[in-house]
Amino acid sequence: MTATPKQRAGLTVASFVVGHSVMAINHQGFIGAILAKAAGMAAWAYADEVFDKLNTGEPSAPPTGGTRATHGVMRRLLTTREQRRANGQQADVRDEEEQEAYQQREPGANDAAVDEDGDVWADDHFDELDEADDEIKTFRQLVEDKTILSALKRGEMALGYVGGELRFVTIKHFYSCGIGGVSGTGKSTTVRFLLFQFALLRARLVLIDPHIEDSEESLAAQFKGFSNIHAMPPCGEEASEVDKRVRILSKEYLRRKNNGIKGPPLILVIDELNGLMRRLPDEQRIALSQLILTLEGEARKFGMFCMLIGQRWSEQDLGGKPHGAAIRDSLASTIAHRFQSEEQAKKLIGSQYGRRCLALRNGHYLFRDTDGAVCEVYTPNTLSSDAIFVQRLLDLWREQAATQARVSEQQTGEELGDLRTSRTNPYPDEEEQTVWNAARDRVVMPVTEPMEQEQREDVRELPTPVMQEKGPRAEDIDLAAAITLWNNGYNSVRKLMRVFPGMTLHQAHRLSQMIEEEAKKRDEETGV
């Protein structure tokens, strides 16, 4: 709307009179008159926009010509807080209408799925990736076309889509990781996508989830059906159960450290970390905090890590002093979905990227790796029902491994059968048969019963402490059979473990030492 000369003059005079009266009080006459004159000139210059704002509620379009280069200043001044709020509400309504239309349309071959958490993986998410819908694959599609399986063979895993391309990383880019963001932004989908791949890498999990009883919301409940991936059964927030897992993981760390064991990967996964820290008794909370700090630090050298999932990352929300801030600062990598609080986002991902987390779409997150590099990632849609698919794949691999073991066992028997007819075999026929049986049937040689000794009436015999250990012990293996195997190609610790199923690395080392000692003894007897 264009102001008439009469309206323009009236607005100018009114601005001058009112401005002069007000400013003269503060600036004592002469200065006030100058400022009032400036206000009147501004009123004359922007009369069109002012009258258009008063009549329509919207500022007029900027002029196409002239020298008023500052027309945008007045427009910004006239954009009130109420108008900005109204614009935001209109945008929200528009997004809701588009989302509703997307969900109600007929599904096509390239349509994105709706995640079970309620996250809609719509087309506008893919627009940011500059990729066509059919190039964004789900987790199951990536497994079926062997994309993920090929990466696993290389020792890598899929992180997600970065700039439209599927990005691959190694476990060294993760180590201990913190995952944050408000509910409904895709955290559960990202966790499933990563943990399913860790499971395919033969990692072992220890899951703690305060919501384990809620089958729809609980992460632990979704993984409860897995077999052979849990080092311990998933548990809730009961202090006794949490304390048990803390003690066992602490002992496992010491065992690996003392024996130089660096695998397989063992991951402590804690969902709803904030609630767990808030409700645990002080003693258990401190013990858990100390374990987390150990996993974030020196335990990574021995294949032990943690994955912490929460919404708030202040020191108090992570258990308070003295461990809360240390837990957050010791994380090797972080994953930040959308936050509502910029301060909380900054605590997790860093001050430089906190504001960016406020505008992330569902399924998108910022990933900071162990080198400090940050990128925006889109998580392929991963359903909880995909766990069945992963379990079937693990079962198939297990059956294939068992078949290969049986074939290897048969070949070993055939090789030892040839030894029975060898002229250079130093063992008598009876001992040859014992060697054959030990290798063919994996029979653990029985330990001879000790002779009974007279018991003194005044002496009470104490029980001998025995440490339970899985698999055969080195002393239970027939040494002659082991020497024969050693001389015929099974001359390493790993090969001994394959020949004697269930034998631990420690016992295999002991058996190899016994073989070497026996060989040295025979050399001394023969004078070699």
What pLDDT score was predicted for residue 112? Answer: 37
Number of separate helices (H) and strands (E) present in the chain: 20, 9
**Mean pLDDT along residues 405-427:** 56
Question: What's the burial of 524, exposed, middle or buried (CB within 10 Å: 0-12/13-18/19+)?
Answer: exposed
Whether residue 355 is predicted with pLDDT greater than 90 in this model: the reply is yes
Residue 175 lies in a domain: yes
pLDDT top residue among 432 and 524:
524
Residue 100 lies in a domain: no
Tally the domains of the chain.
3
What pLDDT score was predicted for residue 280? Answer: 94
pLDDT class for 459, splitting at 50, 70, 90?
A: very low
Residue 295 lies in a domain: yes
Last residue of a domain, one of 384, 415, 434: 384
Return the minimum-mean-pLDDT range out of 95-99, 219-223, 271-275: 95-99
29-81 pLDDT tens trace: 566 667 666 766 766 666 666 555 555 444 444 444 444 434 443 344 334 44
Amino acid at 77: L
133-149 pLDDT tens trace: 457 899 999 999 999 99
**Mean pLDDT along residues 418-426:** 43
- 371 and 422 part of one domain: no
Domain that holds residue 132: 123-384
- 357 and 246 part of one domain: yes
- 200 and 276 part of one domain: yes
pLDDT top residue among 28 and 203:
203
Amino acid at 158: A
What pLDDT score was predicted for residue 6? Answer: 64
Which residues, including other chains, have CB under 8 Å from residue 3's CB and lie 6 or more apart? 11, 47, 48, 50, 51
- 483 and 343 part of one domain: no
pLDDT top residue among 138 and 405:
138
**Mean pLDDT along residues 433-449:** 38
- 323 and 217 part of one domain: yes
What pLDDT score was predicted for residue 44? Answer: 61
- 302 and 404 part of one domain: no
Whether residue 503 is predicted with pLDDT greater than 90 in this model: the reply is no
What's the rounded Cα separation, in Å, for the pair 252 and 258? 10
- 149 and 268 part of one domain: yes
- 354 and 414 part of one domain: no
179-204 pLDDT tens trace: 999 998 999 999 999 999 999 988 99
Rounded percentage of the chain residues whose pLDDT exceeds 70: 62
Whether residue 467 is predicted with pLDDT greater than 80 in this model: the reply is no
Residue 420 lies in a domain: yes
Q: What is the pTM of this model?
A: 0.56
Return the minimum-mean-pLDDT range out of 140-144, 191-195, 287-291, 399-403: 399-403
Return the minimum-mean-pLDDT range out of 344-353, 392-401, 487-496: 487-496
Beta-bridge mates of residue 207 = 269
Which stretches within 297-428 are classed as H helix? 324-329, 342-349, 386-420
Backbone conformation region of residue 337, classed left if phi is above 0, alpha if psi is from -120 to 50, else beta? beta
Residue 459 lies in a domain: no
Whether residue 108 is predicted with pLDDT greater than 90 in this model: the reply is no
pLDDT class for 178, splitting at 50, 70, 90?
A: very high
Residue 118 lies in a domain: no
pLDDT averaged over the chain?
Answer: 74
For the domain that residue 288 is a member of, what is the CATH number?
Answer: 3.40.50.300
- 128 and 211 part of one domain: yes
424: tokens are: 């250079």
- 436 and 516 part of one domain: yes
- 142 and 252 part of one domain: yes
Residue 115 lies in a domain: no
What pLDDT score was predicted for residue 437? Answer: 43
